[in-house]
Amino acid sequence: MSKNSTQYEVLFLTGTSFSSRKWQKRDQADKRKNLTDKEQLEEACWNGLLPEIFPEIFRESADLKSLYLWQIKQAQSFLEIEMGESPASKDYYFSIDPYCFLKQQYLS
C-alpha cells in the first residue's frame, strides 16, 4: 500500500511590493543591510515567515502531519519554496515552477 504525503510548492514573485518589504527584525537591521530584497525574503522564510503568511496551510490538524520547509530555489524573477512532510522528488508535469512544466509541454 502506497503512502500519500503532502507536498507544497509556493512561488514568491520578486520585484513586487510584497517581496520588497523589509523582512528583517529591528535588532538585526545593521547585520542585514547588504542583503537584496530577494535574499531578505528568503532568509525570512527560513526563519519562520511562512506560517504567518499561510496559516491555512499550517493549521494544526489531527489528521495532518507537520510540514517542513525543505528547499528554497532562487530564479530570475521568483523564489520557489518547497515544503512537505518529508523530502520527495516533485512531479515536473504538475509543478508550478515554469522552468519545470514548460519542459513537459508538448509542441503542437
Q: Hey, where are the domains in the chain?
A: 7-104
pLDDT value for 107: 45
DSSP per-residue codes, 34-86? T--HHHHHHHHHHTT-HHHH-HHHH---TTSPPPEEEEEEE-SSEEEEEEESS
Question: How high is the pLDDT of residue 72?
Answer: 92
Q: What pLDDT is stored for residue 79 in this prediction? A: 92
Q: Residue 1 gets which letter from DSSP? A: -
Q: Are strands 78-84 and 68-74 parallel, antiparallel or unpaired?
A: antiparallel
Over range 55-77, report the average pLDDT: 76
The pLDDT, as a whole number, for residue 1 is 46
Over residues 7-61, the pLDDT tens digits come to: 888 888 888 888 777 766 655 555 656 788 888 888 888 988 888 888 887 775 4
Contact 51, 58 (CB under 8 A): yes
